[in-house]
Amino acid sequence: MNVVIATLMREIIKPQLQLGEVDIGAIAIDHRSRDDIPRLLRGLQFIYTDAAVRERVFAILAEVLPERADGSGPVSAETGRPGMAQWQILVLGVLRLGLNADYDRIAELANQHRTVRQMLGHSDWGEETRWGVQTLKDNLRLFTPEVLERINQEVVDAGHALVKKSPDDGLQVRCDSFVVETDVHFPTDINLLCDAVRKVIETSAGLCEAEDLSDWRQSAYNVRCLKQAYRRVQTLKRSNAKDEDKRAVRAEEIKQAHRDYLELAESFLARARETRRRLHIGCALPLAAFSALDDDMAHSERQIDQIRRRVLHGERIPHAEKVFSIFEPHTEWVSKGKAGVPVELGLRVAITEDQYGFILSHRVMQHETDDQVAVPLVEGLVSDFSPLASVSFDKGFHSPANQQRLAELVDFPVLPKKGKRS
C-alpha cells in the first residue's frame, strides 16, 4: 500500500484558483469611489498585476515567517501548517496601516467586505474562511516596519519608472513633520494618579479572583472612593475667589484635599503590595504574572511623588520627568506654534515627498525635534533615491550645522532660517 504524505507549507499566494475565486487582476474595484479602501486595493492590485514589481515584492514577502517557539530562528516555509499566506498578510497589513484601524475593524473587513475578501483570495461560492482577531494579531505582527520600508522602496521605484521622462531626472523633495495624536484625555498629575491607582485596584482584584482570594472583593467600592477624592481635589481647584482671606483659606483646603487624596492612594498601593506578596509566596504565582501590576504601581508611585513635590513642597516638575498618559506612555506634549492649536498630544512624524506625490520615507520622532532629523532623513534619501535635485524644509528644521551638512549632500537645499525678516 503506497502512502502519499502531503507536505504543507506557508505559501505567498495560492498558485491555483479555486472554484468561484476571482483572479486578483480581474477584481472590479469602483474607480469612482473616493473612499480610502478602494484606493489601497488599487495599489495592491497594481503590485500583483505588474510582473516585475510582483516578483520583487514576493521575494520580500517570502521572508515574512514567524519565529520558532524555542527562539532558534524563523520556521521552515516547506513544512508544517500553512498558516496565513504572505499575500494575505500584505493585504491586511496595508489596510491596517493605511486606514489607521484596530484589529477589530480589520477582522470585520476580512470577514464581511466582499472586495477585500476577493483580494484575500476567498471565493464567493460558499467560502466559509473566517479570520479571528487573535489570528490577525499573530500574523500581522510579522509585517514589520522594516518589511514595509523595503516594499515601499520597490513600489516607489516602479512609480518613478512610470512617471519619469528619464531615469536621470533629479527628484525635488519636500520634508515636513506633523503630530500623530494618541487617543488620550488631557493629562494632569491628579487624573493620571487616578488612572494608575484604578488599574492597580482592578489588576489586584483580577489576580485575587483567579486564585479565589477575597482581598479585593470591594474593589468597585474602592474605585468609587478614589474617584470621590479625586473629584474633590478637582472641584476645589476651580475656585476663583477674589478676596485674599477666602483665597488663603481655599488654598489650605486644596492642600488638605491633596493630602487626603495621596493618603488614600498610598493605602491602596500598600494593600496591593501585600496582595502581591501573598500571591507570589502563598499561591506560587510567577513574577511574570505581576508585570502589569508592577507597571501600574510604578506609575502610581511616580505620580504621588510629583503631586507631593508640586502641591505640598512648591516645586516645579521638570518637563523630562512628566508622563502624559498611563496607557500610552510614549505620548509627548508637542507645541508646534500652530494658530488655534497650542498643544498636541501624540508623536511627531516626519515624511518626505517628491514632486510626483510619492512618499519616499518617514521617521517617527520619539524624543526628537525637527532640526535633529533633517540630516538623517536626507542621508537616507541620498542612499535610496539618487539623484536628488533639491530638498526643501520649513524653518523649524534649520540649524547652522544642518545648513552646512545639507549643502554637502544636495546641490540645492532649501532651508530657511528661523525668525522673521528684518
Whether the domain at 164-181+331-414 and the domain at 189-321 fall into the same CATH topology: no
Cα 52 from Cα 286, distance rounded (Å): 52
Cα 92 from Cα 96, distance rounded (Å): 6
Cα 272 from Cα 255, distance rounded (Å): 26
The predicted-structure confidence for 133-143, as pLDDT tens digits, reads as follows 998 998 888 88
What's residue 121's pLDDT?
Answer: 84
Q: Which DSSP string corresponds to 136-172?
A: HHHHHTTS-HHHHHHHHHHHHHHHHHHH-SSTTPPEE
- Please check whether residue 75 is in contact with residue 68, taking contact to mean a CB–CB distance below 8 angstroms: yes
| Domain-wise residue ranges, the chain | 24-156, 164-181+331-414, 189-321
Query: Within 13 Å of residue 157, how many CA atoms lie on the same side as its CB?
Result: 16
Q: Are strands 344-353 and 412-414 parallel, antiparallel or unpaired?
A: unpaired
Cα 215 from Cα 271, distance rounded (Å): 9
Question: Any idea which fold 164-181+331-414 has?
Answer: Nucleotidyltransferase; domain 5 (3.30.420)
User: 172-192 burial, b for 16+ CB within 10 Å, e for fewer?
Assistant: bbebebebeebebeebebbbb
What's residue 208's pLDDT?
Answer: 94
Residue 270 burial (CB count, 10 A): 10
Q: Which DSSP string corresponds to 102-143?
A: -HHHHHHHHHH-HHHHHHHT--SSS------HHHHHHHHTTS
Cα 397 from Cα 256, distance rounded (Å): 47
Question: Any idea which fold 189-321 has?
Answer: Four Helix Bundle (Hemerythrin (Met), subunit A) (1.20.120)
What's residue 317's pLDDT?
Answer: 94
Peptide bond into 413 cis (omega under 30): no
Q: Which DSSP string corresponds to 319-359?
A: GGG--S-SS-TT-EEE---BTTB--EEEEEEEEEE-TTS-E
* CA 47, 53, 59, 64 torsion-angle sign: negative
Q: Quick one: cell of 271?
A: 494593600
Residue owning grid cell 476580512: 110
Please provide the distance, in angstroms rounded to a whole number, between the alpha carbons at the two ends of the chain: 94
Q: Quick one: cell of 56?
A: 520583487
What's residue 227's pLDDT?
Answer: 97
Cα 282 from Cα 259, distance rounded (Å): 34
Nearest to 362 by CA among 94, 153, 91: 153
Extended strands (E) in 153-256: 171-181
Note every long-range contact of 280-287, with CB atoms under 8 Å and residues 24 or more positions apart, other chains counting: 283/211, 283/213, 285/207, 285/211
- Please check whether residue 390 is in contact with residue 173, taking contact to mean a CB–CB distance below 8 angstroms: yes
- Spell out, as residue ranges, where the chain has pLDDT lower than 70: 1-20, 67-83, 124-127, 421-422
What's residue 75's pLDDT?
Answer: 58
Amino acid at 257: A
- Please check whether residue 130 is in contact with residue 101, taking contact to mean a CB–CB distance below 8 angstroms: no
